[in-house]
Amino acid sequence: MTMTRDWLLSERPASRRQARIGQIYRTWLAFRGNGLALFGACIVLALVVVAILAPWLAPHDPLIGDLNHTRLLPPLTEGYWLGTDEQGRDILSRLLHGARITLAVVALVAVIATPVGLLVGTTAGYFGGWVDTVLMRITDIVLAFPKLILALAFVAALGPGIENAIIAISITAWPPYARLARAETLTIRNSDFIAATKLQGASSARIIWKHVVPLCLSSVIVRVTLDMAGIILTAAGLGFLGLGAQPPQPEWGAMIAGGRNFLVDYWWVATMPGLAIFTVSLGFNLLGDGLRDVLDPRGRK
Amino acid sequence: MLHSRFLASVALSALMLGTLPAASFAETPADTLIQAWSIDDIISLDPAEIFEFTASEIAGNSYETLIGYDPENVSDIFGKAAESWTVSEDGKTISFTMREGRTFASGNPITAEDAVFSLVRAVKLDKSPAFIIGQLGMTPDNVEANIVQTGPMTFDFKMDKAYAPTLVLYCLTATVASVVDKKLVMEHEANGDYGYDWLKTNYAGSGPFTIKDWRPNEAVILERNAAYSGDAPPMARVIYRHIPETATQRLLLEKGDIDIARNLTAVDIKALEADPEVKIESGVKGSLYYLGLNQKNQYLAKPEVREAMKYLIDYTTIADTIMAGKVKVHQGFLPEGFLGAYDETPFALDIEKAKALLAEAGLAEGFKVTMDTRNTPEITAMAQAMQQTMAQAGIELELIPGDGKQTLTKYRARTHDIYIGRWGPDFQDPHTNASTFAYNIDNSDEASAKPLAWRNAWDIPELSASTDAAMLEPDAAKRAEMYLAAQKEVLATGPFVIYAQEIEVFGERKNVEGVIIGPSFNDNNFAHVTK
pLDDT of residue B113: 95
pLDDT value of position B119:
96
- Statement: residue B209 has pLDDT above 50: yes
The span from the CA of A172 to the CA of A143, in Å, is 8
Model confidence at A57: pLDDT above 70:
yes
B345-369: average pLDDT: 94
**If pLDDT is split at 50, 70 and 90, which confidence band does B1 have?**
very low
The pLDDT, as a whole number, for residue A301 is 45
Which of the residue ranges A12-16, B76-80, B344-348 would you say has the lowest mean pLDDT? Answer: A12-16
Spell out which residues of chain B touch residue A247, defining contact as CB-CB under 8 Å: 380, 383-384, 387, 399, 401
User: From residue B314, how far is each of A119, B286, B309, B417, B495 by CA, in Å?
Assistant: 55, 21, 11, 20, 18
**How much is the pLDDT for A298?**
65
- Is A265 close to B387, i.e. CB distance below 8 A? no
> For all residues of chain B together, what is the average pLDDT?
90
Does B302 or A300 have the greater pLDDT score? Answer: B302
Output the CA torsion sign for A64, A69, A71, A76: negative
Residue % of chain B over a pLDDT of 90: 72
For B385-413, what is each residue's pLDDT tens digit? 999 999 999 999 998 888 777 888 899 89
Residue of B320, B375, B384 lying closest to A87 (CB–CB): B384
Q: Which CATH architecture has domain B64-188?
A: Alpha-Beta Complex (3.90)
Specify which residues B239 forms β-bridges with. B34, B221
DSSP character string of B407-440: HHHHHHTT--SEEEEEE--SSSSTHHHHHHHS--
pLDDT band at A3 (very low <50, low <70, confident <90, very high): low
Angstrom distance (rounded) from CA B24 to CA B257: 11
* Per-residue model confidence as pLDDT tens digits over A86-113: 889 999 999 999 999 999 999 999 999 9
pLDDT recorded at residue A2: 55
C-alpha to C-alpha distance for B67 and B82, rounded to whole angstroms: 6
CB contact under 8 Å between B246 and A261, yes or no, is yes
**Residue B432 Cα, gap to closest chain A Cα (Å):** 34
By the 8 A CB rule, do A218 and A114 touch?
no
pLDDT band of residue A151 (cuts 50, 70, 90) is confident
Domain A39-299 listed as CATH 3.40.50.2300: no
**A87 close contact with B: CB closer than 8 A:** yes
Contact B95/B85 with Cβ under 8 angstroms? yes
Residues A86, B381: C-beta atoms closer than 8 Å? yes
Q: Domain spans of chain A?
A: 39-299
Please, what is the angle between helix A268-295 and helix A252-260, to 10°? 150
Residue B426 binned pLDDT confidence (cut-offs 50, 70, 90): confident
Considering just the CA atoms, what is the radius of gyration of chain A in Å? 23
Inspect the interface and report whether the beta carbons of A261 and B267 lie closer than 8 Å: yes
- State the average pLDDT for chain A: 88
Q: What is the pLDDT of residues B262-285, one digit of tens each?
A: 989 888 898 899 999 999 999 999
Alpha helices in B92-147 (DSSP H): 112-125, 131-134, 143-146
pLDDT at B7 over 60: no
Fold of B284-503: Dipeptide-binding Protein; domain 3 (3.10.105)
Residues of chain A with C-beta less than 8 angstroms from the C-beta of B380: 247, 258
Per-residue pLDDT band for B84 (boundaries 50, 70, 90) equals very high
Q: Is the pLDDT of residue B375 over 80?
A: no
Q: Is A160 helix (H, G, I), strand (E, B) or coil?
A: coil
Closest chain A residue to B380 measured between Cα atoms? A247
In this structure, are residues A224 and A170 in contact, taking their beta carbons and an 8 Å threshold?
A: no
Hey, which residues does B87 pair with through a beta bridge?
B94
Q: Give residues with Cβ within 8 angstroms of A77, minimum separation 6.
A: A83, A84
Residue B13 in this model has a pLDDT that exceeds 70: no
pLDDT in tens, B481-502: 999 999 999 999 999 999 999 9
Q: Which of A104, A145, A138 is nearest to A119 (CA)?
A: A138
Give the three-class secondary structure for B260.
strand
One-letter identity of residue B371: M
| pLDDT at residue B349, as a whole number | 94
CA torsion angle A114 A118 A119 A123 (round to 10): 170
- Which residue has better confidence, B41 or B314? B314
- Which residue intervals of chain B bear CATH 3.10.105.10? 284-503
- pLDDT of B60 over the 50 cut: yes
Return the number of CB contacts < 8 Å for A and B. Answer: 59
Arithmetic mean of pLDDT, A158-180: 89
At residue B5, does pLDDT exceed 60?
no
Q: How many CB atoms lie within 10 A of CB A7?
A: 15
Which one is predicted more confidently, A141 or A156?
Answer: A141
Given a cut of 90, whether residue B189 has pLDDT beyond it is: yes
* Closest CB to B385 among A67, A242, A246: A67
CB B144 within 8 A of CB B120: yes
Query: Can you give the pLDDT at residue B53?
Result: 85
pLDDT, mean of residues B221-237: 94
A252-298 pLDDT, tens per residue? Answer: 988 998 888 788 888 999 999 999 999 999 999 999 988 888 887 66
- Residue B15 — very low, low, confident or very high, per pLDDT cuts 50/70/90? very low
- Between CA A13 and CA A19 the distance in angstroms is 5
Cis amide prior to A248 (ω within 30 degrees): yes
pLDDT for residue B427 is more than 90 = no
What single DSSP character describes residue B251?
A: H
